[in-house]
A and B are shown apart, each in its own frame.
Chain A
Amino acid sequence: MFEATFNQASILKQVLEATKDLVNDANWDCSAEGIALQAMDSSHVSLVSLSLRGDELASYRCENQISLGINMNTMTKILKCAENNDRTIIRADDDADVMVFVFESEGRDKTSKYEMKLMDIDSEHLGIPEQEYSATVQMSSKEFSRIVRDLSTIGENVEITVDKEGITFGAKGESGSGTVSLKSNPSVDEGSSNITIDLTDSVKLNFALRYLTFFTKAAPLSDNVSLSLSADVPLMVEYAIGDVGFIRYYLAPKIDD
């Protein structure tokens, strides 16, 4: 028996918004520790990894490890039937072929119950090696979304450069080019770009903006985002989900032909 209670539906709604454009179907792997999801997009360029700790949820139980095969679009639609503040319970019996959703209104005067059919999903699980990154940049998630959106109007790719001066995002297209630079300066006043850079080596890498745009759908989950880069390895983009867990995205770099 698996059962997880969220004080508000909004976390689950935001998690689904942050994953459904990359992944159609995914196994939600539930264990005594919590809920984990790992899935690649269909072109095998990016990967999303979600972790929610059971002991940080309103309540959680999972006696036997269980993989719940979920169509992300269907789950998104069912969660739209909940108000953001509804207490939300998701439940599945061992060997069940459905997941049950219960939404309770704030005043506890309305209860809705939905059942969603589960799927058998053959998923490939990738081992992600522990990586010491050359540069880790913490910045406002809103600012990151803005930069990705702005540079997407110029080109398909972004070149990210991190050095001791700061981080620069650059895009080139048929009609022109653009760059956005953020300075790393811990002594500046509050209200400035509020960016911290942990740097051991300068890096310069190219990435497809199309995928970064999908990643920025996670911005409502966290005020901050962390970008971790090393030469010739996938970029890691992480959004913390309060104390409950995180959503991490990995994106393979582009290489010059």
Chain B
Amino acid sequence: TPVQNDLQEFFTLV
């Protein structure tokens, strides 16, 4: 089954 990515892997904290 596919594993859910975390959004913070794509967007950086500012």
Question: Measuring CB to CB, which residues of chain A are less than 8 angstroms from any residue of chain B?
Answer: 40, 44-47, 124-129, 157, 206, 208, 233-234, 250-257
Contact = CB atoms under 8 A, between A and B. Distances in A.
10 contacts: A44-B8, A45-B5, A46-B7, A124-B13, A126-B11, A128-B11, A157-B2, A234-B7, A234-B11, A253-B5
Interface in B1-14: 1-14
Nearest to A257: B3
Contact of A125 (B1, B5, B9, B14): B14
Contacts of A129: 11
B12 A206 contact: no
Nearest to B10: A234
A206 B13 contact: no
A231 to B, nearest CB: 12
A74 to B, nearest CB: 26
A45 B6 CA distance: 5
B1 to A, nearest CB: 6
B5 A126 contact: no
Contacts of B13: 124-127
Contacts of B3: 254-257
B14 A254 contact: no
A237 to B, nearest CB: 13
Contact of A208 (B4, B11, B14): B4
A39 to B, nearest CB: 11
Contacts of A256: 2-3
Contacts of A233: 10
B14 A252 contact: no
A127 B2 contact: no
A252 to B, nearest CB: 4
Given A126-B14, A127-B11, A233-B10, A252 B5 contact: yes
Contact of B6 (A44, A124, A128, A257): A44
A128 B9 CA distance: 11
